[in-house]
Amino acid sequence: MQTAEQTTSSTVQKAWNKRPLIISGPCSAETEEQVLQTAQRLAATGKIDMLRAGIWKPRTKPGGFEGVGTKGLPWLQQAKKLTGLPVTVEVATAKQLEDALHFDIDVLWIGARTTVNPFSVQELADALRGVDVPVLIKNPVNPDLELWTGALERVARAGIKQIGLIHRGFSSYGNTEYRNAPMWTLAIEMKRRNPEVMMINDPSHICGRRDILIDVMQRAIDLDYDGLMIESHIDPDNAWSDAKQQVTPEVLKEMLDKIIWRKEDVNSPEYHAALEKLRQQINHLDDELMQLLSHRMKIAEKIGEYKKSNNITILQTNRWNEIIERAVAKGEKAGLSKEFITKYFDAVHMESINHQKKILDA
Ligand code: PEP
Ligand code: MN
């Protein structure tokens, strides 16, 4: 068991602070041979900063492969020795956490199915007290920022100083393109609330398939994520878990080479001047939109007054359907998606109803 006096080694610190931080390894540790080969082939790409492997696997249904358990931890120790790369595993219970630290696992991560459960997160937080180990926290399975924040706070209160977040997407009924819908705005909002905490993207669990991995990786880099965690297996088709989403270390290298690594900031004054001008235009348009919306609400209020004096309900479904149909048709011609138009008008409609309700209640 690691003690409070022991600090994490400088290689771990170096990896933790590297941007972009690239973590890779198999979904699950299966055999010693598979772990060591994967680790060595990943290290040979020269593009990986940290190794990952699942030792205890949370599965939706019983009867599947639930991980090799503690016997896989020495394989990771060996992988670390062979490659010089730090290693990270998922822990879900205090016992798993103790076992992982006993076998010198450098970084721990809390999985999506654990983040949803405050009892489990608190159990881990209690076990982390007095321990100096970096912890990564995956978003909860369901799109709930408060649960993600709660986990972050519990781990921070346990005295853990180095905490990172992993965005692995959210499960949503009826979603087909992704295994877990990215819902980018949620991760962006989490980053906005916690600007000092690193945010890593996990394209593997978002996609659930290989063909769109690179698009999600590029998207994350374009959104200025701090790093990526991607699953890699020496024989992806025969992986014991998540076979469809894993790629070989060599394919991963090709993908990392293809990505365009954009910087958040560049130093050229021309670039800044051009950007500033465009940003001012956006601010100007946003101001105008706000004025127009305010004007629209004033008219809605007038309608509210007529409705009040004639004793008519606020919501008139036919009129609303007519507005939406008209807007979608016009919007699509103007290059705006149906999804956006519908969401936008729903919000405007709600605001109008609130304004009218105030009139009717007055
Ligand atoms: C994993 O990383 O293999 C895993 C189980 O991920 P998640 O917790 O995001 O489902
Ligand atoms: Mn997996």
Q: Give, for ligand 1, the residue of 60, 113, 216, 233 to mutate: max count of ligand atoms closer than 8 Å to Cβ.
A: 113
Nearest ligand to residue 180 Cα = 1
The confidence score (pLDDT) of residue 174 equals: 76
What whole-number distance in Å separates Cα of residue 208 and Cα of residue 58? 16
Query: Which residues lie below 8 Å from residue 60, measured CB to CB, with a gap of 6+?
Result: none
Nearest ligand to residue 53 Cα = 1
Helix, strand or coil, per DSSP, at residue 211: coil
**Separation of 231 CA from ligand 2 center, angstroms?**
7
The confidence score (pLDDT) of residue 307 equals: 87
The confidence score (pLDDT) of residue 266 equals: 75
For residues 45 and 252, the answer to whether their CB atoms sit within 8 Å is yes
Q: Give, for ligand 1, the residue of 137, 202, 240, 245 to mutate: max count of ligand atoms closer than 8 Å to Cβ.
A: 202
Environment class of 161 (CB within 10 Å of its CB; exposed 0-12, middle 13-18, buried 19+) = exposed
**Separation of 29 CA from ligand 2 center, angstroms?**
11
Environment class of 5 (CB within 10 Å of its CB; exposed 0-12, middle 13-18, buried 19+) = exposed
**Separation of 67 CA from ligand 2 center, angstroms?**
11
**Separation of 317 CA from ligand 1 center, angstroms?**
44
The confidence score (pLDDT) of residue 5 equals: 34
For residues 198 and 21, the answer to whether their CB atoms sit within 8 Å is yes
Going by their DSSP bridges, the two strands 227-231 and 87-90 should be labelled as unpaired
Determine the Cα angle at 119 with ends 116 and 122, to 5°. Answer: 100
pLDDT means over runs of 10, the chain (362 residues): 50 96 98 98 98 93 92 98 97 98 98 98 98 98 97 98 98 85 93 96 98 96 95 98 97 97 80 88 92 94 91 82 92 93 93 92 88
Query: For the chain, how many residues are written?
Result: 362
Q: Give, for ligand 1, the residue of 30, 88, 178, 205 to mutate: max count of ligand atoms closer than 8 Å to Cβ.
A: 205
Determine which residue's CA is closest to atom 10 belonging to ligand 1: 112
Residues with CB under 6 A from ligand 1: 27, 54, 58, 111-113, 138, 168, 205
The confidence score (pLDDT) of residue 4 equals: 35
Nearest Cα to Cα of residue 109 among 243, 207, 231, 273 = 231
The confidence score (pLDDT) of residue 29 equals: 98
Determine which residue's CA is closest to atom 6 belonging to ligand 1: 111
What whole-number distance in Å separates Cα of residue 242 and Cα of residue 248? 13
- Going 302 to 304 to 306 to 309, the CA torsion angle's sign is negative
**Separation of 112 CA from ligand 1 center, angstroms?**
6
Nearest Cα to Cα of residue 187 among 223, 222, 151, 152 = 223
Q: How far apart are the first and last CA of the chain?
A: 67
